[in-house]
Amino acid sequence: MIYYAIALLVIAFDQLTKWIIVHNMDLGQRITVIDNLFYITSHRNRGAAWGILQDQMWLFYIITIIVIGAVIYYLEKHAKGKPLFQLSLALILGGAIGNFIDRLFRKEVVDFLDTYIFTYDFPIFNIADSALTIGVALIFIQMLKEGREEKVKPNGQN
């Protein structure tokens, strides 16, 4: 149950930060946090990452419902006893639902975290996007961990 609570915290924090942006900043307004590195920029996205698939809401609804169902299934059937896997799925669940709420009620996703990495202007993102990215990275770490454990022989030798 703790992992569903984590997902709920991600959703709550995501929606709270988006509400703050929508109600306190004009679209396109930018606040410098760390010059040439990090800004808060009020932005909207009607597509996916990097603005791809603009205005394809029906596709995002279908994909998100499938992802949510799959994540819950894996949490219940395959992640028990694997805390890292459970955490990764909780983050993915919270992130997916956070952006789904935006798409459902706003018909666009509120983005505001604006970073420059070595002069590259990274696409503006939000808390839900961050949770999704971290969740996917943790799944890769879990897979590497399980791969190493499978290589260890029963007597503990490599």
- Which of 14, 102, 114, 129 is the catalytic position? 129
- Which of 26, 111, 114, 121 is the catalytic position? 111
Catalytic annotation on 111?
A: yes
Alpha helices by DSSP H, listed for the chain, are: 2-24, 57-77, 83-105, 127-151
- Six-digit token string for 123: 């696409």
Q: Are 85 and 114 in contact (CB under 8 A)?
A: no
Q: What distance in Å separates the CA atoms of residue 97 and residue 53, rounded to the nearest whole number?
A: 19
Catalytic annotation on 129?
A: yes
- Six-digit token string for 51: 């603005």
Q: Supply φ then ψ for residue 29, to 5 degrees.
A: -65, 140
Q: Which of the residues are catalytic?
A: 111, 129
